[in-house]
Amino acid sequence: MISARQVRAARTLLGWTQETLAEKALVSLTALKRLESLSALGTHETTRVQVQRSLERAGIVFIESDQGKGVLLVERSELDGPR
């Protein structure tokens, strides 16, 4: 499961505002703000999935290991096709 910190970090790497991510993920801004809060109270799983998929389509890779969690922005060439 992606964390609030991963979502914020991914959004920062992409240079997206909360409004941009909410629009691309087709979720309400309020739902995204709840997801990005440290408590993530009241976040529906569908919201989390839609946000994760939108970030992954933009080139974000979510990383989880025994040492922690993180994100990576993979630069895609034009040969990879549209995002």
Query: pLDDT tens string for the chain (83 positions)?
Result: 899 999 999 999 999 999 999 999 999 999 999 999 977 567 899 999 999 999 999 999 999 999 999 999 998 764 365 54
pLDDT at 79: 39
What pLDDT is stored for residue 41 in this prediction? 67
Structural domain range at position 46: 4-80
Neighbours of 28 (CB within 10 A): 11
Count the neighbouring beta carbons within 10 Å of the beta carbon of residue 64.
Answer: 12
With 0-12 CB in 10 A as exposed, 13-18 as middle and 19+ as buried, what is 2? Answer: buried
Measured CA to CA, the distance from residue 81 to residue 34 in angstroms comes to: 33
State residue 64's pLDDT score.
Answer: 94
What is the rounded distance in angstroms from the CA atom of residue 34 to the CA atom of residue 51? 12
DSSP 73: E
Based on the structure, what is the number of domains in the chain? 1
Q: What is the CATH number of the domain that holds 17?
A: 1.10.260.40
| DSSP class of 29 | H
